[in-house]
Amino acid sequence: MKEKIYTIPVNDGFDAEGECPFCFMERQAEQSAMRYVAGPGASYMEPDVRAATDRAGFCRCHMKKLYQYGNTLGNALMLQTYMAGLLKEFDWEVDNLKIPEKKGLLLRKKNQPEDAYWKRLRQRTDSCYLCDKIDYNMQRYMETFFYLIRDEQFRQKVENGKGFCLDHFALLLRMAEDKLPSGQTQWFYETVYAKMQSNLYRVKEDLDWLVAKYDFRNAGKPWGNSQDALQRTMQKLTGGFPADPPLKQD
Ligand SMILES: [Zn+2]
Ligand SMILES: [Zn+2]
């Protein structure tokens, strides 16, 4: 199958031969989104980008990553207009404050307004401009994956790979329900479950040897593949790259 612009990041992910090709794609997507919004191109000064960051804000994880990225003025400008919007909303809440009545369970179910302020506040704290951008890209990468598995050569790459992290494995299974080409159903389920099983055992063995290395009797024995088994196990279980240094502006 001929390489197209949208197949490049997916092939790069599989060619990286790590614990999870989708984690690799996600890291690329995250770094490029961070550079886009807070980097030297100063997209945060463009009105449409600022409107989007004012609307979505950032989650806790990305607040930290933006802080570590280091563009103090750029981040401060984004949060300045975000705060202005928040305060406008909050002023309205204060002016229209109704003390909630303590109600019985049945009444509460009937009369509680759907859009209680805590719910809107939760939406604010949970929504994230960067997560949205990354999720959008990940959806496209997954769709591309299901397009590419029609190709024998690509299927070979999947078979040669190390499976996926549990987080992306779950996403893959969820998307397979809609996107899996019918001709590849058997191949897909048999392959990915077998890959996950053998690679979870492999990572567990690496982790076992890392633990065993702390026994003084094994001190002189070689590390084998176990020196980075902790971060690879963490990745296998929840995705991401725990040992990555923070992304900093150039
Ligand atoms: Zn992953
Ligand atoms: Zn986020």
Task: Quickly list DSSP for 91-103.
Answer: HHHHHT--PPPP-
Quickly tell me which residue has 């999947």 as its tokens. 158
- pLDDT at 115 (0 to 100): 75
What is this structure's pTM? 0.90
Sign of CA dihedral 159, 137, 229, 203: negative
Task: Quickly list DSSP for 173-229.
Answer: HHHHHHH--GGGHHHHHHHHHHHHHHHHHHHHHHHHHHHHHTSGGGTTS--TT-TTH
Quickly tell me which residue has 């996950």 as its tokens. 196
- pLDDT at 72 (0 to 100): 96
Rounded distance from Cα 61 to ligand 2 centre (Å): 6
Length of the chain measured in residues: 250
When mean pLDDT is compared across 113-127, 165-179, 226-240, the lowest value belongs to 113-127
Residues with CB in 5 Å of ion ligand 2: 59, 62, 128, 130-131
* Res 102 pLDDT > 80: no
| Distance of alpha carbon 232 from alpha carbon 206, whole angstroms | 9
Mean pLDDT over the full length of the chain:
93
Quickly tell me which residue has 């299901």 as its tokens. 146
Rounded distance from Cα 248 to ligand 1 centre (Å): 22
The percent of residues above 70 in pLDDT, for the chain, comes to 95
Rounded distance from Cα 164 to ligand 1 centre (Å): 6
pLDDT tens for residues 3-48?
A: 888 899 999 999 999 999 999 999 999 999 999 999 988 898 999 9
* Res 2 pLDDT > 90: no
pLDDT tens for residues 147-171?
A: 999 999 999 999 999 999 999 999 9
Rounded distance from Cα 64 to ligand 1 centre (Å): 21
Burial-class residue 173 by CB neighbours within 10 Å (0-12, 13-18, 19+): middle
